[in-house]
Structures are given as C-alpha cells and as structure tokens.
Amino acid sequence: MTAPATTPQTESKQPTLIDMLRNIITSQEGVLFIIMVIAVLFLATRTDKFLTVDNLLNQGRLLTEVGLVAVPMTFIIITGGIDLSVGSIFGLTAIVLGIAWQDMGMALPVAIVFAILVGTFAGFMNGWFIVKVGVPPLIMTLATLALYRGLAQGLSEGASVRGYPDWFYELGQGEFLGVPSQLWLLLIAVIIAGILLSRTTLGRTLYAIGNNEVAARFSGLQVNRYLLFIYTFSGFMSALAGYIFVSRVSTTRSDMGTGLELDVIAAVVLGGSSIFGGTGSIPGTIIGVVLIQLLKNGLSLTGVTGDATIVVIGSVLIFAILVNTFIQGRKAA
C-alpha cells in the first residue's frame, strides 16, 4: 500500500519512512487490522483449536456468503446509499432455484442460471426505482426487503426443497487445491472489485457520488448509470451467495438469509466505510468480514455460547467506529 495522496507535498523534505508507516497504521484499514491482530492473538492464547489451518479454512467457507455480498455493499455505501434487501434477494434466489428445479421441471443448471437472473433483476428493480423515480435507497430497499422475502415465502408456502444431485454440492462443500471451492470465487470477486474501486473510473466515480452527488452530476459523470449498475451488481452477488449457500447447506428454505443485510452492513461499516458515503475500501471490508467471523468462531471455541457472541460483535462494531472517528478526527485537526 502506498502513502495516500493526502501526504503534504508542499513541505520541502520528502516524507520519511516513519511518516509513511504512521499514515498506514492510522488509516482506517490500519487501525482495524491492528484490532484484528490483537483479537486473533488473544483468542489463540485461549484455545489451541482456533489458530489451525483446518479451522481457518473452514471459517473461510462460512464467511464466503457474507463476503460476496459485502463487496457490492461497499460500493453502495461508498455512494452514500444502502441496500437492505440483500438478505431477501438471497432467500428469493434460493427459493426460485428450488422451485424452478423441482416444480417447474427445469434442468438444474438452467434453474441455477434462472435463479441468479431473477436475483439480478431484483437488484435491478431496486436500482431502477432509486435512479429513475428518485426513491431514497433506504426506503426502496426496505420495501423490497419485505417484498422479496414475501415473494419467497408466498412462492414456497413455507415448504423446503432438498435432494439435489451430488455435483450440485461441489461448490458449497467441495474443495479445489485444498481450499474450499467457494473461497476461490470470493478471492476472484475481491481482487476484481478491489481493482475496480481503486484503479478505474468506476471506482473514482463512486467516491465522487458519495462525496457530493450533485457535483458529480455537474462534472459530467454518468451518475445514474453507475448507480443502476451497483444495485444490479448487488442483486447479482446476493443471488450468487444464495446459490452457494443452498449448495453448502443442501436444502432450500424461504427464511434463508434473514438478517444477512445486518451482518453485511456491520462488516462493511466495521471495515471503515462511512454510512454518509465517500469513504471505504475493499481491503477494509474484507478485514471487517474476517474479523467478525473470527470473533464468532474464536469466542464459541473458548466456550462462549453461540448466540452470546453477538454481544461482542455489536460492541466491537460501535467501539471500532468510535476509535476510528476519534483517530480520523485527530488526523484531520
């Protein structure tokens, strides 16, 4: 990582190594990374089952769905928007997949493509209403949070679909080169998204929209087109994550992904994206996703009961933001 462009260039002397180091450490990602290292070290001293390759790879498998959805969510939050409907798109995709295969008689590969298309279209609908009609993202996706979940429940009438052929489970339960298959997908998605965000016009435009949407429009940026794209992309990634989830847990139910939006938003915000827009990065988001998963896993291994770990996660979320606000405030002053 290079020093951010904010390093004062007007000073006569070159920034020293210590300056650069300080910049990295006090950046959003830096602070978070240090918190993560401390948490990992602490958890590792409490139980020897935590810091093993097997356990970590398995945690990688579990965090993939949240990670996949967190990527477009980072884009959206950078623009100052939000997408609350991801969990419902996730569930809708799962149900459509199951019903298309079992009740509508589609071949399974066709059903998978169809389901992902439906999810992508669901995201497109969000984007279309937000961009063309001007519905605030929070409200639009709140409405579709209820609508898409309702469709999933209505279509399935609460029934579940199971009994998929063996090859279907490859992606969710199999391994490739010793690493869980879906983790490769996440890796590819993260690398592409990271490059998109930091090295392309798309990325710069998203930051511009988040900082000042009106100014971005007056600068001749295709704001509408980019916004439509990221919400559609969010639908696509949620659908993909839904498919992977079905493949991992071997069954389809309409309540799948309930509350996913909260996990994803928590991870993205923890990763340093401001809900007001304009800041955030893919590395930060990934640290957020990993930190939450490791905390959940490490705490349950050290004997904290499953659901109680969410107290820690909630506290870490608020605490990390407080610390970051404090440090960034000091830096700005």
Partner 1 sequence: MALQSTQPLKPMTRAWWHYVPLVLAGALIVFYVLLPFVTQPELGQTTIRVLTESRGNNELGLNTHGLVLIPLAALGAALFGLWNLLDPRVARAVSALTALGGLMIVTYYIIFAMDYSAEEATYISQMGPAFWSILVVGILMILQFFLPRPPSPHKYRLARLVGNQESIIALGLIFMLIAVGISNPRFLAERNISDVLQGHAYVAVAAIGMSMVIITGNIDISVGSLIGLLAVICGRLAVAGAPIWLAWLAPLLVGAAVGALIGFLVAYMRIPSIVVTLGMLSILKGILIIWTNGERVTDMPEGFFLAQMRPLGIPMPIWFMIVLTILAALWMRYSGLGRSLYAVGGNAEAARLSGISQKRVVLQVFIINGIFVGFASILYATQFAIIQVTPPPGLELTIISSSVVGGVSILGGTGTVIGSSLAAILLNTIRSAMVFINVSPFWLQAVQGVLILVTVLADLLRRRRQID
Interface ranges with partner 1 (CB under 8 A): 82, 129, 133-136, 138-140, 142-151, 153-154, 156-158, 254, 258, 262, 265-266, 269, 274-276, 305, 307-315, 317-318, 321-322, 325
Distance of CA 32 to the CA centre of its chain: 16
Exposure class string for 229-254: b at 16+ Cβ within 10 A, else e: bbbbbbbbbbbbbbbbbbbbeeebbb
What is the rounded CA–CA span in Å between residue 252 and residue 131? 33
Going by C-alpha positions, the residue among 111, 93, 112 that lies closest to residue 151 is: 93
The residue (of 186 and 266) whose beta carbon lies closer to partner 1 is 266
The letter for the amino acid at 114 is F
The residue (of 5 and 332) whose beta carbon lies closer to partner 1 is 332
Closest contact distance (angstroms) between CB of 103 and partner 1 is: 15
The residue (of 173 and 211) whose beta carbon lies closer to partner 1 is 211
Report H helices in the chain.
17-25, 28-46, 53-78, 86-102, 108-128, 137-156, 170-173, 181-199, 201-211, 213-218, 223-249, 260-270, 282-301, 309-332
Residue 88 near residue 283 (C-beta atoms within 8 A) = no
The residue (of 34 and 322) whose beta carbon lies closer to partner 1 is 322
Closest contact distance (angstroms) between CB of 166 and partner 1 is: 31
Closest contact distance (angstroms) between CB of 134 and partner 1 is: 6
Close Cβ partners of 245 (under 8 Å, ≥ 6 residues apart): 65, 90, 94, 172, 256, 257
Closest contact distance (angstroms) between CB of 188 and partner 1 is: 29
Closest contact distance (angstroms) between CB of 57 and partner 1 is: 26
- The pair of structure tokens assigned to 319 is 């605490």
The residue (of 180 and 298) whose beta carbon lies closer to partner 1 is 298
Pairing of strands 175-176, 161-162: unpaired
Closest contact distance (angstroms) between CB of 305 and partner 1 is: 7
The residue (of 195 and 318) whose beta carbon lies closer to partner 1 is 318
Closest contact distance (angstroms) between CB of 285 and partner 1 is: 15
Closest contact distance (angstroms) between CB of 149 and partner 1 is: 5
The residue (of 181 and 273) whose beta carbon lies closer to partner 1 is 273
The residue (of 23 and 274) whose beta carbon lies closer to partner 1 is 274
- The pair of structure tokens assigned to 69 is 């959805």
Close Cβ partners of 165 (under 8 Å, ≥ 6 residues apart): 108
